[in-house]
Amino acid sequence: MKYRFFPVLIITAIICLIPATGAAAEPMRISVLYFSNTGSDEDLSWLEKGIADMLLTDLALSDEIKCIEREQLEKVLNEQRFSLSGMADEKQSIEIGKILTAELLLTGSFIRAGDRLRIDGKLLDTGTGEVRAAVKTEGSIDTVFDMETEIVRGVFGKLGIELPAGIENSKSASVPAARAYYTGLDLFDIGEYSRAVEFYRQASIEDPEYGKPRAGLEESYRFLKDFKRMRYQREINTLLSKADSLRRRLKREPWQTYSDFLIQAYKAGETDNEKLNKKAEELGLFAGETPATCAWNLQTTLYEIADLAVEYFDDHELAGYSRSEIANIARQARISWPGDAFLPELIYQELLVTYFQNRWEESLVLCEELMINYPAYRMMWAVEDFYEESLSQMEDPGQQ
């Protein structure tokens, strides 16, 4: 599993607040404009759309906010012939916001000085032109994800909205992956779909768990009218979304079953079963009642991803990453759930990875673990076959 480690940074946040007037009956309509690069460093041009898109993603996590989609902004920019550089002008920004029928507008700029990156953000009222909040953050380029989150915290704080769950996991774990993705997005916006595909693929290799590049690939294939690849990518994207849902469920505390979810929902007065089941599916609650069974479902999903990645796109990077994660899940399971009756199922999945990759010595060890510790395991006949084949291969590596 992948974890993020960020270097120590200094972030200074200055938030200018005006007393809230109470919660709105309807979600607030917010548009996020592209941030202006006020320096001369063209290597950071990807942050113009990158910062805005990350902010848009995080703001959309709240049910109290209605974010105007980036595609609508692109349409207005093209139709009205507005330029990215013009977004630094507050009057023009408000004009764009009004065209988009946004109540609030989040805009800003960034500049690099030496090894430091500074980002300034402003929340504007499109009706009055008033600055509702101002946020300034500073750090190194490696901490840009933390800096973006600081802006989001300032905006939610001003609006009196609780910070939604999932903010920390909404972005790539890799700055190079984000740079490649937003470079591809810029190419996509000007119709260079084939070149966009190249950068989206690069972003996916840099960070296999990063979902946006794969969504970008599917969309690019649609515009290229490569409908077979579009379908292939959609199948993989669906499985990747399922895997993300299962990962989040495994990390969520306390552990929640489908029954727990329904009881809590009914107590809260929610009785729309169709809506509840859709939400439960999004949360991965149908994939097992225990952490171990949920982890097994994640393993099998990763197997499907690995197989399709190779079959459809000859993508051995994604396949290799998925198979490594299958093994890591089993290793973590031994620590987390040592007495769970379902544990041999997870170990068996790890065995399949090593066996079909011809890692005979590791396969022997896993076979022996299952035969010694779980002699009544339901798939013992297959384990015995794997063991004999692994022994044979170790004795005579050249045999077919």
177-187 pLDDT, tens per residue? Answer: 999 999 999 99
Q: Residue 350: pLDDT above 90?
A: yes
Q: What's residue 2's pLDDT? A: 44
- 355 pLDDT more than 50: yes
Are 117 and 145 in contact by the 8 Å Cβ rule? The answer is no
Buried/exposed 189-210: b ≥16 CB within 10 Å, e otherwise: eeeebebbbebbbbbbbbbbbb
Structural domain count of the chain? 1
| CA 307 to mean position of chain CA atoms | 21
Torsion sign across C-alpha atoms 174, 180, 184, 186 = positive
User: Is 10 a domain residue?
Assistant: no
pLDDT level of residue 77 (50, 70, 90 thresholds)? confident
| Residue 19: other Cβ atoms inside 10 A | 6
Contact 387, 355 (CB under 8 A): no
Q: Select the more confidently predicted residue: 299 or 129.
A: 299
Alpha-carbon gap, residue 79 to 298, rounded angstroms: 45
pLDDT band at 87 (very low <50, low <70, confident <90, very high): low
Q: Would you tell me how many other CB atoms lie within 10 Å of the CB of residue 227?
A: 10
| Structure confidence at residue 362 (pLDDT) | 97
What confidence score (pLDDT) does residue 116 get? Answer: 92
Task: For residue 54, give both structure tokens.
Answer: 């990350």
- Which residue do the tokens 């009956």 mark? 25
The CA distance from 311 to 353, in Å, is: 17
What integer pLDDT is reported at residue 115 of this predicted model?
87
Angle ∠(110,113,115) on CA atoms, nearest 5: 105
Read off the pLDDT of each residue in 256-263 and give the average, rounded to a whole number.
91
Q: How confident is the model at residue 268 (pLDDT cuts 50, 70, 90)?
A: confident
Task: Specify the 3-state DSSP secondary structure of 358.
Answer: coil
Whole-number Å distance between alpha carbons of 105 and 332: 45
- Domain contains 81: yes
For residues 308-337, average pLDDT: 96
* Cα–Cα distance for residue pair 242/85, rounded to 1 Å: 39
Is residue 42 in a domain?
yes
The encoded tokens of residue 342 equal 């379902």
Amino acid sitting at position 158: K
Per-residue pLDDT, averaged over 345-366, amounts to 97
Tokens of 363: 């396969």
Average pLDDT over residues 69-76: 89
Question: What share of the chain has pLDDT > 90, as a percent?
Answer: 68
Q: Would residue 45 count as lying in a domain?
A: yes
The pTM for the full model equals: 0.83
CA distances from 341 to 266, 302, 333, 347, 378 (A): 32, 22, 11, 12, 12
Distance separating alpha carbons of residues 49 and 70, to the nearest angstrom: 9
Phi-psi region of 225 (alpha: psi -120 to 50; beta: other; left: phi over 0): left
Tell me which residue range forms the domain holding 47: 28-171
- pLDDT at 335 (0 to 100): 97
Instruction: Give the closest residue to 123 by CA, choosing from 93, 166, 81, 80.
Output: 93
- Mean predicted confidence (pLDDT) in 33-60: 92
Average pLDDT value for residue range 91-101: 85
Instruction: Give the other-Cβ count within 10 Å of 398's Cβ.
Output: 5
Which structure tokens are listed for 217? 């690939």
Q: Where are the alpha helices (DSSP H) in 60-142?
A: 70-80, 90-99
Which pLDDT score, from 0 to 100, does residue 360 have?
96
CATH number of the domain residue 82 falls in: 3.40.50.10070
**Is position 178 within any domain?**
no
Residue 133 lies inside a defined structural domain of this protein:
yes
Lowest mean pLDDT among 76-85, 138-147, 275-284, 309-318: 76-85
Judge contact between 82 and 48, C-beta under 8 A.
no
Per DSSP, 368 falls in state: H
CA distance 348 to 356: 12
Q: What pLDDT, on the 0 to 100 scale, is given for residue 16?
A: 40
Instruction: Name, in order, each residue with C-beta under 8 angstroms of 262's C-beta and a sequence gap of 6 or more.
Output: 276, 280
- Asked whether residue 184 is assigned to any structural domain, the reply reads no
Nearest to 298 by CA among 249, 237, 348, 233: 249
Length of the chain equals 400
**Is residue 186 assigned to a domain?**
no
CB 173, CB 159: distance < 8 Å: no
The C-alpha torsion from 172 through 77 and 201 to 140, rounded to 10°, is -40
User: For residue range 373-395, what is the model confidence (pLDDT) as tens digits?
Assistant: 999 999 999 999 999 999 999 88
